[in-house]
Amino acid sequence: MNQVFALVDCNNFYASCEKLFRPDLRETPVVVLSNNDGCVVARSKEAKAMGIKMGVPIHLIKTEIQRHRIKIFSSNYTLYGDMSRRVMTNLEALAPKVDVYSIDEAFLDLTGINQVMSFEAFGRQVKDAVYQNVGLPVCVGIAPTRTLAKLANYAAKKYSATGGVVDLTDQARQRRLIARVPVGEVWGVGTRLSAKLQAMGITTALQLADADLTTLRKRFSVVLERTARELNGVCCLVWEDVPAPKKQIMCSRSFGQPIQTLWDLEAAVAQHATRATEKLRHGQQYASELMVFIRTNPFKPHVPQYSRNASIRLVTPTQDSRVIVQKALTQLRSIYRSGYDYAKAGVMLGELMGGAGFQEDLFASASSSTLDNGKSARLMAVIDEINVRSRATIVMARSTGPAAHTMRRQHLSPAYTTDWNSLPSVN
């Protein structure tokens, strides 16, 4: 039985999340800003219709914001993450297999569904269920390959007559659509690659599908060759039931305002190190390498510039927040220099591995091993449990203190779904 995929993609996800709890903004143009309220990262359909571009700095569109009364929101990652979880939970209840691709996208395995109902009917059932249960609009693209499912979803969004669902399991319909789609809209074909293909005369997805596969492999890569095969309905991307383990974990963020003191930098780095180690434990992994970096703002060339990083190899792999924070602060102190306005800091954990397959430190005492120390594992488990289930939060002491390193979010909406105090009230 041939495989069939559906790509379910939330429409204008961040903006839709903000509008969901603000019915007064139903017809109002909405934009969501990046970290520190810098640039536009999401737009409602009304804002798109006004010509607001993705990535434009907010200070360049102040006139348009005032003229059209555009509503501005800071990025509310807590809200978006929880709404994403609700969408994916609904999809998992509808399809036998779900592969979460991003915060607002997921592939479904629909193989055999047509024995019960048509693919298009099932797509509309998915669309209606998510809207009914979560309140967010989605579009559904259905096809025999993931690349074609992406293009089907593109058509479902672009052409309102489709009603938000496009079935591309029919080969003739596939070719009619991809003949109308610019090659730059094909999944995996970025701006630079698109320019090179257009220079060769390949301007549409259909022309890419019909291109000589050997030429594509020689001039570009095997990846582009597989893309062309997928456009022809040949499935080349294997379904992954278990996602591959992460190779690195990075936690970093630009500051809401410049930081000069080591004290404030330490609080920021300790917070990033704690968060990175939480992700490490969530993936049941251990880190063997730690890197810390700090830098000034490269977009302000008129101020003194400084950028440094320091890394250390951990003799014994660990997932203990206390160890990671202590090592991170030691590395930070070795690279810190006074007299600079620091704009960003971060922590990266590398050489990740599972709990078996590596050698312990020959000279370490049994009590000092962070991997086999039962007390360490139990302590971290208790901390994680409290932080997930309780309204209280346990953090490393050094990550508290002045909030100079926190992001600037002047237009932040409430955490409607995860904080009792932020529940919407009805008069």
Give pLDDT tens digits for 344-387. 999 999 888 876 555 555 555 544 444 445 678 888 888 888 77
Q: Top-level CATH class of 171-243?
A: mainly alpha
Q: Is the pLDDT higher at 408 or at 415?
A: 415
Helix (H) or strand (E) holding 43: strand 40-43
Residues facing 308 on adjacent strands:
294
Identify residue 191 by its one-letter amino acid code.
T
Q: What value does the mean pLDDT of the chain take?
A: 86
- Which range is least confidently modeled, 135-139, 401-405, 406-410? 401-405
Residue pair 340/297 in contact (Cβ under 8 Å)? The answer is: no
CATH architecture for segment(s) 249-399: 2-Layer Sandwich (3.30)
Q: Delimit the CATH 3.30.70.270 region(s) of the chain.
A: 1-169
Domain with CATH 3.30.1490.100 in the chain: 249-399
pLDDT at 257: 82
Res 316: pLDDT: 86
Q: Are 316 and 360 in contact (CB under 8 A)?
A: yes
d(CA 16, CA 197): 35
- CA separation (Å) from 223 to 192, 193, 247, 427? 15, 12, 21, 56
Per-residue pLDDT at 136 exceeds 80: yes
Rounded Cα distance between 275 and 278, Å, is: 5
Q: Are strands 165-167 and 138-143 parallel, antiparallel or unpaired?
A: parallel
Residues β-bridged to residue 9: 105, 139
- Which helix (H) or strand (E) is 386 found in, with range? helix 374-389
The predicted-structure confidence for 314-327, as pLDDT tens digits, reads as follows 888 899 999 999 99
369 token code pair: 């091993």
Average pLDDT of the residues in 134-138: 95
Structure tokens at 29: 């143009």
Residue intervals in the chain for CATH 1.10.150.20: 171-243
8 burial level (CB within 10 Å; 0-12, 13-18, 19+): buried
CA distance 308 to 284: 30
Options 3.40.1710.10, 3.40.50.12780, 3.40.50.720, 3.30.70.270; CATH for 1-169 is 3.30.70.270
Here the tokens at position 375 are: 């007390």
**3-state percent breakdown (helix, strand, coil) of the chain, nearest 5:** 45, 20, 35
Q: How confident is the model at residue 31 (pLDDT cuts 50, 70, 90)?
A: very high
One-letter amino acid of 65: I
